[in-house]
A = this chain, B = another copy of it.
Amino acid sequence: MTTSYDVIIVGGGVIGSSIAFHLAKKKRKVLLVEKDRIGCEASSAAAGMLGAQAEITEAGPLYDMAQKSRNLFPDIAEELKECSGIDIHLVNKGLLKVASSEEEENELKRLISFYQKQGQRAEWLSVEEMLEKEPNLSRDLTGAVYLPDDGHVLAPELTSAFARAASILGVSLREYTTTTGVIIQNDRIIGIETNVGNFYSNMVVVTSGVWSGTLLQQTGLHLPLYPVKGECFSLLYPAAPITATVISEGCYIVPKQRGRLIVGATMGEGQYDKKVTLKGIRDLLTKTETILPNIVEGEWEKAWTGLRPQTPDGLPYMGKHPEIEGLFIAAGHFRNGILLSPITGQWMTELIEGERHEETLQPFRVDRFSKTMITR
């Protein structure tokens, strides 16, 4: 007789690892399967920005979710450090969103009122104030919004810490295991098929990022997801030319430990390849040089890409499969997987445990683009 698990999670990125960690804290017997290595895709490619305000600039369910998740980071950082020994390097030096034209300035000022209405901190800095804060920024900018509460973490460390903490709490990790299908009996999930055999459980969570849709096709669910390739590079300085994260239309610059800057990210819609192109480097270079002229003094470290999983309406999928009992989905977090991972782990665990009503996740329901399911 083969082992059976309380929950099987398919996909060892930051989302799957966070859910595994949160379920483990509830004493659940969990199996986490990953086709390659833990965190080897988008989760490790990320710059680790916690841009709860910077990235989500409209009221709505994603905005609320992002604020809540950002607020969980101080505690989660401490908890993960204690349990896994890994420091996720949470930095809270704020974020500057810069303007290079009057139009952008007006747009940013409009945003400030929005933030303030939401009860969030946000402050307009004139060019002088901005340069006082970050003296290496370009004098040709027209000012910036300062968001003191948007920080950043080390993305590969975060994923690794969730997975290692989960493992220490008893979760079984299986790397290099490709899930090829789900096993369904009488409209109930009973397990998964993989390249190394079947695993059984009455609850399965699909957290396979952009690859989630393909796995779920078999269940009749239309779950549209497409990759947005992001090219990034990193630079080294004796002392980093900025202290806060700086973002602008189309690029961000995140200062990390030891004088390292991460610069990202291009937006290659529908591209599944992981090639860094010279074009990508040029586009990032051109944009960032306008903002931070002496960025070019930096020493080249390396370049890489990540495939961020996007959905048609920009909202992640989080919820139950409409027809198969015991089948859950959490995918499509696009550029905000790092930021949203704590709250996703928490909410999905509550949903699985029956402690949260699925109505509370209504905007994220997984069948919102699946006509068959809706008309059923």
Contacts and interface: CB of A to CB of B under 8 A. Distances in A.
Interface string A174-186: 0111101000000
Pick from A164, A258, A278, A295 the residue with the most CB of B within 10 Å: A278
A178 B276 CA distance: 19
Given A178-B272, A257-B86, A258-B86, A214 B238 contact: no
Interface string A274-302: 11111111100100010000011111100
A258 B275 CA distance: 16
Contacts of A273: 175-176
A28 to B, nearest CB: 19
Q: What range describes how many residues of A lie at the interface?
A: 35 or more
Nearest to A289: B282
A125 interface: no
B195 A272 contact: yes
Given A214-B195, A257-B86, A285-B281, A239 B168 contact: yes
A285 B86 CA distance: 28
A85 B240 CA distance: 12
Interface in A176-201: 176-178, 180, 195-196
Nearest to A275: B299
Contacts of A175: 273
A254 to B, nearest CB: 14
A235 B282 CA distance: 13
Pick from A86, A164, A173, A176 the residue with the most CB of B within 10 Å: A176
A331 B196 CA distance: 18
A167 interface: yes
Interface in A235-293: 235, 238-239, 257-259, 270, 272-282, 285, 289
A325 interface: no
Interface in A310-353: none
Pick from A85, A86, A258, A300 the residue with the most CB of B within 10 Å: A300
Nearest to A196: B272
B281 A299 contact: no
A87 interface: yes
Interface of A: 85-87, 160, 164, 167-168, 173, 175-178, 180, 195-196, 211, 214, 217, 235, 238-239, 257-259, 270, 272-282, 285, 289, 295-300, 303
Task: Enumerate the 10 nearest inter-chain pairs by beta-carbon distance, A residue then B residue, closest first.
Answer: A176-B273, A279-B296, A276-B300, A275-B299, A176-B272, A278-B296, A278-B298, A180-B214, A300-B303, A85-B257
